[in-house]
């Protein structure tokens, strides 16, 4: 079982408002090869509060990887992505956009906003689980994630 360099589990923040997709992602990651801890934010405002450790999220762990849906309530995923990548304290965290949109303008726009990767969610249940497992395999097993900044 893999961990980060300190032996801690890989911290993942899933930003997703669809409870079914949250459940499926949790299930798929449970089966993964890498020991991970998943936190969930249900909308863009909550995601940014989590990342900035504001309010009830004051003790939140800094994620090693963010899985971001684009179509979110309160603040959409494009705005969240822009704010993450404009923040020097957050911009190094890899962001995987995982969304139902297959629109070319969404793909171009998210890469312009410095998303690390764009994946269209398959509608089929088995394919969805397979996609999440491939994220686990690639991002958590193959890719070297940036080191966390020293705690201040």
CATH number reported for the structural domain that contains residue 16 in this entry: 3.40.50.2300
Residue 27 lies in a domain: yes
Question: Residue 1: is its pLDDT beyond 50?
Answer: no
* Number of domains comprising the chain: 1
Residue 144 lies in a domain: no
How many Cβ atoms from other residues are within 10 Å of residue 100's Cβ?
15
Q: Which domain holds residue 111?
A: 11-136
CA 131 to chain centre: 13
Residue 20 lies in a domain: yes
| pLDDT at residue 4 in the model | 46
Q: Average pLDDT of the chain? A: 85
Residue 6 lies in a domain: no
Residue 59 lies in a domain: yes
| pLDDT at residue 150 in the model | 65
Write out pLDDT tens, residues 66-120.
999 998 998 999 999 999 999 999 999 999 998 888 888 889 999 999 999 898 8
Residue 2 lies in a domain: no
| pLDDT at residue 151 in the model | 54
């Amino acid at each position: 079982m893999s961990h980060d360099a300190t032996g801690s589990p890989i911290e993942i923040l899933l930003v997703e408002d669809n409870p079914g997709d949250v459940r499926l992602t949790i299930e798929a990651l449970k089966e993964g090869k890498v020991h991970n801890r998943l936190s969930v934010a249900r909308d863009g405002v909550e995601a940014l509060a989590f990342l900035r450790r504001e309010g009830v999220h004051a003790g939140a762990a800094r994620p090693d990887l963010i899985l971001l849906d684009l179509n979110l309530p309160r603040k959409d995923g494009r705005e969240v992505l822009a704010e993450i990548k404009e923040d020097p304290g957050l911009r190094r965290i890899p962001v995987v956009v995982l969304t139902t949109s297959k629109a070319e303008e969404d793909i171009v726009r998210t890469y312009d906003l410095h998303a690390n990767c764009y994946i269209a969610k398959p509608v089929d249940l088995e394919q969805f689980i397979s996609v999440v497992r491939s994220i686990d395999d690639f991002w958590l097993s193959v890719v070297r994630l940036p080191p966390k900044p020293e705690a201040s």
